[in-house]
Amino acid sequence: MLLLDAHLDLAMNAVEWNRDLSRPLDAIRSHEAHKKDKPDRGRGTVCFDAMRRAGAGICVATQIARVEHDAYSPVAGWASQAQAWAMTRAQRAWYEAMEEAGEIRILRDRASMEAHVALWSAPLPAGPDRRPIGCILSLEGADSLVTLGHLERSWNDGLRAVGPAHYGPGVYAHGTSTTGGFNPRGRDLLREMARLGVILDVTHLSDECLVEALDLFDGPLWASHHLCRALVPHQRQLPDDHLRLLAQRDAVVGLALDAWMVVPGWVRGQSTPESTGASLHHVADHADHIAQVTGSARHVGIGTDLDGAFGNEQTPREVQSIADVPRLADILLGRGWSMADVEGVFSGNFLRVLRRAWR
Whole-number pLDDT of residue 72: 54
Dist. CA 199–CA 194, nearest whole Å: 8
Coil, strand or helix at 90: helix
Whole-number pLDDT of residue 313: 97
Residue 276 pLDDT more than 80?
A: yes
Whole-number pLDDT of residue 69: 80
pLDDT interval class at 75 (50, 70, 90): confident
Considering its fold, how many domains does the chain have in total? 1
Dist. CA 288–CA 285, nearest whole Å: 5
Dist. CA 314–CA 75, nearest whole Å: 17
Residue 35 pLDDT more than 70?
A: yes
**Arithmetic mean of pLDDT, 160-170:** 96
Length reported for the chain: 359
- Count of beta carbons in the 10 Å neighbourhood of residue 146: 15
Q: Is the Cα torsion angle 173, 69, 40, 317 positive or negative in sign?
A: negative
Q: For position 305, which CATH number holds? A: 3.20.20.140
Identify the domain containing residue 169 by its residue range. 4-357
**Planar angle of CA 143, 145, 151, nearest 5 degrees:** 140
Dist. CA 26–CA 346, nearest whole Å: 26
Report the chain's mean pLDDT, rounded to a whole number. Answer: 96
* Cβ within 8 Å of residue 12, ≥6 positions away: 62, 63, 64, 91, 308, 309
The 10s digit of each residue's pLDDT in 237-259 is: 999 999 999 999 999 999 999 99
**Arithmetic mean of pLDDT, 35-49:** 96
**Arithmetic mean of pLDDT, 204-216:** 98
